Amino acid sequence: MGNPVAHVEIRAKDADAAREFYGKLFSWTFPDAPEPGYTYIVTGVEGAIPGGIGRAQAGNGHVTFFVDVDDVAAALAKGQSLGGATVLPATEVPGITFGLFADPEGHILGVSHNG
């Protein structure tokens, strides 16, 4: 099985301002998600990669994409063995497991698995 991009996420210092900007720019809408202050991104295009917007936990914020993998913890460990670093270990929320890693240059990416 390949590993497609499964989710994109915008974490902003001011998530409400980000939603206003992207909503006006692209006509996106933002239904609530289970995480307080986090919303889904609805592009209005069937089959589009799902996404969300929320507040950055620290710093200036960032845009991250998540790659679908069979085993989140194993993918994070493999990333470490290749010179990357785990930023957020495998975390389970209802319906999904995800984690974040930094590649050798410090770019943050996510891995996730539904189910």
Considering the entire predicted model, what is its pTM?
Answer: 0.81
58 CB contacts (<8 Å, ≥6 apart)?
none
Residue 77 is predicted with a pLDDT of 96
Per CATH, the number for 7-59 is 3.10.180.10
CATH pick for 69-115 out of 3.40.630.30, 3.90.330.10, 3.40.1440.10, 3.10.180.10: 3.10.180.10
Q: In terms of pLDDT, which residue wins out, 27 or 60?
A: 27
Domain with CATH 3.10.180.10 in the chain: 7-59, 69-115
> Contact, 75 vs 66, CB < 8 A?
no
| Average pLDDT, rounded, for the chain | 93
